[in-house]
Structure formats: structure tokens, C-alpha cells
A and B are shown apart, each in its own frame.
Chain A
Amino acid sequence: MRWGWFLLLLGPSVLTLLLLVAIWGLSLGQLEQERQLALGAARQQNETLAHIVAANLEQVLTRPHLYADRAAELLDQGPGAGVALRAALAGDGAYLRLAVLNGAGRVQFASSPLAQGLAHQELPPAGSDLGLGQPSGRGEEAWLLPLALALRSPAGREGQLVMLLDLGYFLRLYQGAGLGARHIGIFRQGGTRLVEADDLSISLGGPAAGETEAQLRVSKSLARFPLVVEISQSQASVLQGLAPSRQRHLLWAWGLTLLLLAAGTALTLLARRQRALYRRVLCSETEKESLIQQLETEKGQAYQLASHDHLTGLPNRMLFSELSASHLSGSRRGRHLHALVFLDLDHFKAVNDQLGHRIGDQLLQTVAQRLRAVLRDSDLVSRQGGDEFVLLINELASAEDAARVAAKIIQAVGAPCQLEGHELVVRPSLGLALAPRDGQDLNTLMAHADAAMYAAKSAGRGTFRFFDGALNGIPVRQDELARDLEPALEAGGLQLHYQLQHSLDDLQPMGLEALVRWPHPGHGLIYPKDILPLARELGLLPRLDRWVLAEVCRLLGQWRAEGRHLLPIAINLAPETLADPAFPAAVQEQLARQGLSAALLGLEIPADWLPGADPGALERLQALAHLGVSLRVDGFGRSQTGFQQLRALPLKWLKVEPSCIGEGEGGKGAGGTAGFIITLAHVQGFRVLVTGVETPEQLVQLKASGADGAQGYHLQRPLPAGEVVALLERRLGVHGRD
């Protein structure tokens, strides 16, 4: 294109130039040809003229020879004999006077009295050839040219004939002869000018008139006399006749030149204008495109802003609605299922409250990343606000697949994460609604999934539920765990971790709580909140509790055997265990087997079991208390259990969670409430152990409110037995074994 424009711009100029060169070349060529023709013609004319003038001059100069015979006779005769000579001279326009001089130089004959003077004036040397003198150039005889010719009379006398040639004769001859601008010069052979004549005048001798122009010269030598006739003419005068033709030619050439220049300029301007227009159009196109681009970018950004959650970058509710609508419309046609999943983080609020919104935000981002990572690209993930996420899992073959994905999500999201030095474990609760069986439009599905999510929450959190209750039996992970739990229990696949319980008086360890852990080969470490419901479902709780009892006693026995400092270890008892009439005996047996003091064993009873406990159970508790085992109520405040019921029991310790004594709300009011519960507990004769202490602030507040003991991640996370031994060695080593 660039070259195209270049040619378009240059083309007219080059074309114009070529045409101009052609026009001027032809014009000037023709003019030059005409000029040469004219000069040639003039040269030829001048040559002819030179021939004529030379012939005429020769004729005039031959005349003295005609006079000579008669003049020679006069040398032998008297003066009277010259009458005929005089008469002949009178009719001769060229010669003015003549004299015949004898050998002594005296005048033998004079054509007139004036001719007498010829004897006295300077004369050219006379010979057989005519001697040519020089015009005087002065006075009345200025243009008279003396000529001399030697004479020999028939009698042998010598003398000379002297004649004066009237150059006025030449003037008359050439004046008005149409010489035009020509000059006729008569020169001696040596180059001296004798006379010059033109159409107007003659001039004598001397230098020629100043010639400033180029001259056209033609010369012709006389055959018999030493004279040269030269015709000169200025070239300008020759070419003058060509002027009109030349002017006409030049006029045409200039006319064409101007026309061509105008046309060339017009074309060039047109091309330039076209190019300018083209460029402008191009420019505006580019501008337009860039504007469109900008608009699109801005639109994209605006859309991104409007459609995405700024914190996690996930689609928001609006975009999710749009996107899911098209997927869901596909679900009506296809055979596949779509699962709409409502996901809510359990206790997220506590994270925000306790660790700050920054950590909370980071947690949400982590959750978003994990969700995105665990799902396929074709699945949709959105954040609806707060800690609520809605997912649409597409193209599922069956409800089992949906359950498997849900389990995967729970596992992925529930994995511990490190945020600014905090290890957080947040478990999600999921509610699933399947399209098209649970509904075909988004609103319906959302409502159903939401309901399912609440079901999951009330089922103990950290799990998922289908809207359709019939499907809830199929969770795969649960299946696998259920399948594996009993064998694990049998094969010793479970472990116990121990968490220290501190006295708030001196922050010294005052006991341990045994917590069951299940390192599942397929699902990682399983915690009590998963194990216990499963064990309950499977009816394994009594066996589990007995295993725990045995394990704790074995450990205590081992420690005692190793001579270590012994701390009481508490175990949690399920209501089913407490319902077993043989349990107190089993405790006694285990203690006895290891030779342990009953005081080293703590039994924690769930608070929500107490109201419905049968009288037999209470008796069994009494029996256990009687053994000397330390009984405690776990989860006080979470159930309907009041102090009145507790007073009937042989209890010393109440275990409460910070949220249950209001501490979790934070602030002074909360501290006040906590203080109130603790004070009530103390009044009733109970000691209070607060579990789940995760921040130093909580600890300070609990201590200020008079709690007796504390347990929690902040103080020490649960550790395997070996590590706890090492820890206790360090913590208690200073104080010795007392």
C-alpha cells in the first residue's frame, strides 16, 4: 500500500516531467532546425551577394586598363588629345577624375582642373597591375580612392595613369539595394579595411563598427586584384525573421507546459488528498477499534466487577445465576445429573471474631482455591456472601458420584491450613440438591440445597446432606469409614492423642484428656467428631470406650513402670457405655490390672446425656465415683442440663466451652457472663475446666473470671503419647516428682 501511494503520488510528476521533456525537446529541436536552415539560407544569399559585389568591383577596377591604351597614346601627343578620354570619364559614374603623368611625374593630361592636383598628392606605386591607394578620409575628397597604373606609349614613353575612384558610387550602388542588415566590407589582402557599406551608409577605413553579436561572415577574394569582399551579417538579424515562428512555438510549448503542470499538480494534489483521506479513514478506523477495544475492556472489567466476588475472584450470585441457568436447562434434556451444592463453613464466624477479618478473608480465599482445585473446570463455584458458597457440579452419572464429590470437598476444605502462623481447621457443611430430581430451576434447587445444608449442620457439621433424605445413606466416605472402623478397632488401628489440662492457678499441667484418632489409610486422620457418630451408628461406642479405657490404663501402667510422673488422664464416655452395667467393673479391672490409683483416671460424661439417664446409669456413676475415679461433665451449657441435676451426681469438675459461657462473644459483657457461670458453678461446689481455649485473651479472661482449669489449642494441641511424655518431662522436670 505504501508503494502504491508512492507511485500514485510520484506518477503524475514523472509523467508530467517526461511530457515536458518531450515537448521542449521537440520544440527546441524544431527551432534549432529552423535556425540552422535560416542561417544556411542567409549564408548562401551572402555568398551570392559576395560574388556579385566582387564581380562588380572587379569590373570597376578593370576600367583603368580600358582607359590605359588611350592614356598611353597621350604620352606621345599634346594635351589636346584627351578630349575623348574626358568625355568617356564624364559618363563614368565610378571614376571622378584622371590624370596622365609623364615619366617626370608631370601632368601630361588632366580630366579637369581639379585633376591637376593629382601630380602632387600621395599616389600608390604604379605597375602593370593596378596600384590601389587609400582614401584620404578627410575633407571634400574624403572618399576618393586613388588608383595608379603604369603606362608605356607606343613610342616607348613611360608614364602612369592616375584615377580617382568615387566611393560614393558604391554607396549609390548598394543603398536601397535591400542589403538589410548586411554589411559589405572591402579589405586589402593584408586585412586593412578600405571601405564598408551597408544599406544606409559607407564608412572609410578605420575599425569596423563595434560588433557585439555573433556574425555570419562570407568573404570572397577578387581574382585580379588584392582585395577581399566580405559580407557580414549579425545572426540576430538573420534570425529576426524567425521570431514570430519561434514565438509561436514557445507560446505553444509554454502553453502546454502550463497545462501539463496544472494537470500534474492537480493530479498530485488529488492523490495527496486521497491519501490524506485514506489516512484519516485509517486513523479513525484504528481509533474506533481502539475505542471499541477500550469499551470492551471496560465492559469486561465492569462485568468482572459486577459478576465476580472481589475477594475470591469467584463468580458472584448474579453470574452464577446466569451460568447455572444454561447448565440447568441442559439437564432437562440430558440423562446426567447436576448437583447444586450449598456450602457453609462451620464456625467461620468464630474465626472472623477471634483471628480477625483479615485471617477470615484469607481463609475464604483458601477455601475458594481449594474448591476450584478440587472441582472440574466445567463445574461452577460461586461465593454467595459471608462463608456461603454455592457450587454446581455438572454431568454427574449418579447420586453416588455427587456424594463422592461432596466428600472430596469436605476433605479438601477441611484440611488444616496455615494462615499467618495459625493452623486452622474449618470444616464445611454441605447441602446437595440434584437436578432434575429435586427441582429444575435454580431457585428451587437453591432452596432445597439450603435446606439440605441445614440438615447437614444439624447432623453434626462437617458433613453433607442430600435434600432427598433417601440419598443420605450413601455417603461414600462415611461408607468407607463405617466399613473400616470396626476392623481398625479390632486391629489396633486407632490411636490416642493427649491434650494437657492446665490448672489456671499456676498454669501447671494437672491432667490429660485422651482423644481418639484414626489414621485412615484412604481418608487421612479421622477425628472424634467423625469417629464417634460413626461408632454410634455402628454400635461400636461401648467397645471403643473400653479400648480407650484399656489403652489409657496401659499407658499409665507403662508410665508408672517407667517411673514417670503420673497425671490423671480423662477419657470421654458415650451414653451407650454408661448404659453398660458391666462398665464400672471393667474400669476397676483395668485399674487393678495396672495397679493404678483410680484417681489417675477421669471419666467425662456428656452433659446432654444426663437428663434422660436412667436410674441404673446414675447408680453406675455412683459406683464409679466410689472407685475414686474422677467424674466430670463434658459440654456443660450446651445441653438443657442444669446445676440441679448435677448436684445429684458425684461430680467435681464441669467442662465448658468458651461459647457456652458466652466468652466467644468477646468483650466485657461476655467476660461478665462467663464470670457469672463460673461463680454459680463454684457456689454449687464444682470446679470449672474450660476447653477449646485458643487465644491468649481467652486464657486471661478465664483466669480473671475464676476458672479453675483450661485446655485448648492455645495451651497445647493434642499429641501422641510419646510426644506428650517428652513434653511433660520438660514441663515437670523442674518441679521434681512429688
Chain B
Amino acid sequence: MGRICCLLLAFLLLGGCASVGAQCENPARLRFSLVPQGDAGRDLSAYRPLVAAIEARLGKPVELLQPQSYGSVVEGLAASTIDFAVLGPASYLKARGANPEVQVFASYAKRAGPFQEQGPYYRALLVVPAASRHRSLESLQGGTLALTDPGSTSGAVLPRRVFPALTGRSLDGFFGRIVYVGDHDRAGLAVAAGKVDAAFLSGFHLSELVRQGRIEADSVRVLWRSEPIPQDAIVYRGRLCAPIREGIRAVFLARDGQAFPGLLEQQGSLAFVPMEDGAYRILRELQ
């Protein structure tokens, strides 16, 4: 009931003051979100120092939006209800496709891990429990596959696209059952625990699980890995006025992108690095 009241309140508040901006938008408050990777709430909390720095620099409040799915962030960017966000590569492409003003300006340089090379790239992996009998793709036929979110690059989008080339069959036709676990952490945990036969997920997140001590590196076996994929895209809307965009960008990339060690540590990253749309060409070509 409370939720419904909130909705009605939103109608009253926003209904009157909403206006179609001129060339650049300078909203009274900025809205930030990011695609769910693991614990979305925890992720958002980690960004609080950075968000605070942006608020300080721009003199505007920044609202943190808790996402339900990759799609909700994409939808927010497409509908311009989100001003800046952290997106997966495919989500970025999807959002930019729907709303060309979405611009990537930065990404993470990830530290190396058991399934991750150092830098702003990562790979999609197909992993099975180390104890399982599966040693090749073929033997997995008819099994249960865990995907993360339908909008996740390494956890759904890329596998669906490359799988026919690998096996000659679509993902849905090949596996007996496909379940969505929502994020990479759960996918990795589910595989390591043997709850599913296999999972597609990001090598970076798998490494993070190992680093955090939540799984053992040898509890899973990698059956397939993709070409390197650019890391998450940190985007803002191009319609935002330049000082705002510049302010956001400056805060992310301050001190060589290492201004928020706590956040970087939590994100398994070494630094924020500048990023351009061209880097995602490789994914775009797959579409």
C-alpha cells in the first residue's frame, strides 16, 4: 500500500514541474544507478563517497536508484529518467541504441585474478562445477544452465549470440532448462555449489568471488571463454549541460581515476579509466 502511495505522490510532485528542456538540461537533482552485479544495495553504498564528491562539486543532490534489473537501468537511461549510470557493455549498447545521447566516458581498469586479466577488459566464461563429469560443451546437452540477467553481456547476451556458432544449436534448444539467477555472483556461487550444471558469467566477477573467499578457484572448471570484452561503461546523458558532465567525469577520473580507493577496492578495480564508444565496436559487430 505504501508503494502505491509513493507512486501517487510522484505523480503530484513531478506532474507539474516536468518540462521539456532546451539544448542542455540542468536538472535540480541528478539520478544515478548501476546494473545489479551482486548485492545492488551494497554496490550503491560503495558509490556513496563518489556520489558525495559529485554532489559537492556540482552543488546538486544526487539520487541513488536501486535497480531491479539490467533492463530497468537501460530503460531509465532511454527514458532519460537516469542521468548517469554504470552499465554492462551490452546494456550500454542497448541504451545508446534507444537513446543516442547516452555517452560512455569512463570504465574500470580491473586488477588481475584467476579468471581475469588486468585492464579494462574481461571475458565471458562457461563454467561447470569442478566435480562434474562435464569436460566439453557437448556433454552439457539437456542440462540446466544458469544465466545471470537477460541483459547481461557475458551472462546472457554474448552467449546467446555466439552459442550457435559453437554448437550449431541455439542456447534454448541445447540446454534442457535455462534459469536466470539475476547476477554474476549468484551464477558463480550456484555453479561452485553444483546447483546448476553450468553457467555463463563474467570472468571478472568469478575472480572477485575467489578473491572474496566465497568460492575456491578450483571449485569450477572453465569450458569456454570469449574474446576480451570491454569493461562496464560509465555513462551520462549527453543532454546534461557540459559543466555537469564535466563535473561527473572529473570526479570519476580524478587523481588518475584512483580518487576512491574504497570504491575501487570494492569493485575489484585498480582505477577508473577514460573510455570511448569505439571500444564497444567489437560487441556491436556481434549484434
Contacts and interface: CB of A to CB of B under 8 A. Distances in A.
Interface of A: 59, 63, 66, 70, 80, 83-84, 86-94, 96-97, 111-115, 137-144, 166, 168-169, 171-172, 175, 200-204, 206, 209
Given A92-B7, A140-B156, A209 B72 contact: no
Interface stretch (B9-17, B114-122, B132-140, B261-269): B9-17
A87 B14 contact: yes
Interface string B51-87: 0000000000000011011111011101111100000
Nearest to B15: A84
A137 B178 CA distance: 10
B281 interface: no
B160 A139 contact: yes
Contact of A139 (B150, B178, B179, B182): B150
Nearest to B152: A140
B112 to A, nearest CB: 29
A143 B180 contact: yes
Contact of A140 (B8, B19, B71, B82): B71
Nearest to B18: A83
7 contacts: A59-B4, A63-B4, A83-B15, A113-B79, A114-B75, A168-B69, A201-B181
Contacts of B178: 203-204
B172 interface: yes
A112 B177 contact: no
Contact of B7 (A88, A97, A171): A88
Contacts of B7: 63, 66, 88, 91-92
Contacts of A143: 69, 150, 180
Contacts of B82: 90
Interface in B1-49: 3-4, 6-8, 10-11, 13-16, 18-20, 31, 36, 40
A213 to B, nearest CB: 16
Contacts of A63: 4, 7
Interface in B158-212: 160, 172, 177-182, 186, 190, 195-196
Contacts, number: 148
B245 interface: no
Given A83-B14, A87-B14, A168-B149, A112 B179 contact: no
B226 interface: no
A80 B20 contact: yes
The 4 A-B residue pairs whose C-beta atoms are closest, nearest first, are: A168-B69, A83-B18, A84-B15, A112-B79
B151 interface: yes
B76 A66 contact: no
Given A87-B13, A140-B150, 12 more contacts: A63-B7, A66-B8, A86-B18, A86-B81, A90-B65, A90-B82, A96-B72, A97-B75, A138-B160, A140-B70, A168-B69, A168-B70
A635 B213 CA distance: 155
A172 B13 CA distance: 28
A141 B157 CA distance: 10
Contacts of B66: 93
B240 interface: no
A70 B12 CA distance: 12
A166 B68 contact: yes
B282 to A, nearest CB: 18
A114 B190 contact: no
A209 B182 contact: no
Q: Which of A66, A168, A209 has the most CB of B within 10 A?
A: A168
B79 A93 contact: no
Contacts of B69: 96, 143, 166, 168-169, 171-172
Contacts of B31: 90
B111 interface: no
B144 interface: yes
Given A88-B10, A113-B98, A139-B150, A96 B71 contact: yes
Contacts of B273: none
Given A83-B18, A93-B66, A93-B68, A137 B172 contact: yes
A141 B151 CA distance: 7
B75 A96 contact: yes
Nearest to A93: B68
B90 interface: yes
B99 interface: yes
A168 B177 contact: no
A204 B179 CA distance: 7
Nearest to B14: A87
B10 A111 contact: no
B239 interface: no
Nearest to B1: A59
A237 to B, nearest CB: 13
B182 A90 contact: no
B195 A111 contact: no
Contacts of A140: 70-71, 90, 94, 150-151, 156-157
A200 B195 contact: yes
Contacts of A200: 146, 179, 181, 186, 190, 195
A114 B78 contact: yes
B79 A206 contact: no
A680 B101 CA distance: 194
Contacts of A70: 11
A142 B150 contact: yes
B182 A91 contact: no
Nearest to B94: A140
A169 to B, nearest CB: 5
A169 B67 CA distance: 9
Chain A CB count within 10 A is highest, among B75, B76, B82, B98, for B75
Most buried by A among B40, B146, B150: B150
Given A83-B18, A88-B14, A169-B69, A114 B182 contact: no
B4 A66 contact: yes
Contact of B99 (A83, A89, A94, A113): A113
Contacts of B99: 112-113
A172 B68 contact: yes
Contacts of A84: 10-11, 14-16, 18
Contact of B180 (A91, A97, A113, A203): A203
A112 B98 contact: yes
Given A83-B18, A139-B160, A140-B71, A172 B182 contact: yes
A209 B3 CA distance: 33
Contact of B79 (A89, A94, A172): A89
A84 B14 CA distance: 5
Contact of B179 (A91, A141, A202): A202
Contact of A171 (B76, B78, B182): B182
Nearest to B7: A88
A141 B172 contact: no
A109 to B, nearest CB: 11
A111 B11 contact: no
Given A91-B6, A96-B75, A201 B146 contact: yes
A175 B81 contact: no
Given A137-B172, A144-B71, A201 B79 contact: no
A206 B78 contact: no
B82 to A, nearest CB: 8
Nearest to B189: A200
Contacts of A89: 79, 81
A90 B11 contact: no
The CB with the most chain A CB atoms within 10 A, among B4, B10, B144, is that of: B10
A96 B15 CA distance: 19
A96 B178 CA distance: 22
A169 B74 CA distance: 15
A59 B151 CA distance: 26
Nearest to A173: B68
Contacts of A113: 78-79, 98-99
B11 A88 contact: yes
Contact of B18 (A87, A114, A202): A87
Contact of A87 (B10, B75, B78, B179): B10
B66 to A, nearest CB: 7
A136 B6 CA distance: 30
A169 B3 CA distance: 14
Nearest to B95: A114
